[in-house]
Amino acid sequence: MTRSYIGELSAEFFGTMILILFGVGVVAQVVTAPDGSLGDHDSIAWGWGIGVTLGVYVAARLSGAHLKPVVSIALAAFKGFPWRKVGPYCLAKFLGAFVVAAIIRAVYVDRIALVDPDHTIKSQGIFSTLPGNGIEGVSIATAFFDQIVGTAILVFVIFALTTASNNPPMSNLGPVVVGLLVVGIGMAWGANAGYAINPARDFGPRLLTYFTGYETAMFDQNGQLYFWLPIVAPIIGGLVGGAMFKYLLEGFLPAEPESITVSEPTDLPTTNS
């Protein structure tokens, strides 16, 4: 394995860590202060957006800062990203999310014990998503469709922001705009399924909670097996969004050479380690 490839995987690992530190961290702060004194839905949306922005700044130079398996898969399907890298990239993201979830679980252990000593659905939503964010009345079908739509928006706009011939933001501003995109999705598409839009972000922390006392971690509030939905639906949505940009918009753009963008790693000197 080359030194540059190790750098790419390390960037995805640490970029995802930063994303989850702010995203899951802000949810933990809000949920463990049920009086609303430490935030609400808007602060959660902004926390996730800030996490994305900073995570992209951490990882973009080395890996392109995919940070979400759906982005890696969509880039491989429509933008020429090597399929052989998709699995390792996704594993790096999953591990980053898992490790950070363990850190947050340890840091917030006392506050979680105060509001939910039995480790139930009440605080499970800190780490992973639920239909309707844990309330009754939102079906699995609705949550599934919601995740397809939300992730399609995410990938469609990321492609638009990172295609050079589409007059995207300058590379040093790109992460800020991607972060604002996630804030917007959180504010408009957060009600039905908690806008996971990222299999690693959901399953990594979900698995960690399963190992640390949450017997219901793989289920929703109605006892239905749920862990699969934030994995399968976002992948479908990412492919839909990528295909829409590729086949319905990109072909009409002027033919200009692509330049390095926030989703495309630069070529670094290759040295065998």
Q: pLDDT digit string (tens) for 110-165?
A: 999 999 999 999 999 999 999 999 999 999 999 999 999 999 999 999 999 998 88
pLDDT at 166: 86
Query: Is 272 a residue whose pLDDT tops 70?
Result: no
Q: What is the pLDDT of residue 271?
A: 40
pLDDT-derived band at 209, boundaries 50, 70, 90: very high
- Residue 171 pLDDT class (50, 70, 90 cuts): low
Q: Name the pLDDT band for 256 (thresholds 50, 70, 90).
A: low
pLDDT digits (tens, 9 = 90+) for 40-80: 999 999 999 999 999 999 999 999 999 999 999 999 999 99
Confidence tier at 167 by pLDDT (50, 70, 90): confident
Q: Are 67 and 60 in contact (CB under 8 A)?
A: no
Taking residues 17-36, report their average pLDDT: 97
- H helices, E strands: number in the chain: 10, 0
**110-207-203-79 Cα dihedral, nearest 10 degrees:** 120
What pLDDT is stored for residue 168 in this prediction?
Answer: 85
Residues 6+ apart with CB under 8 A from 229: 140, 143, 144, 147, 193
This prediction has a pTM of 0.91
Residue 29 has pLDDT above 70, yes or no: yes
Cβ atoms of residues 19 and 71 within 8 Å? no
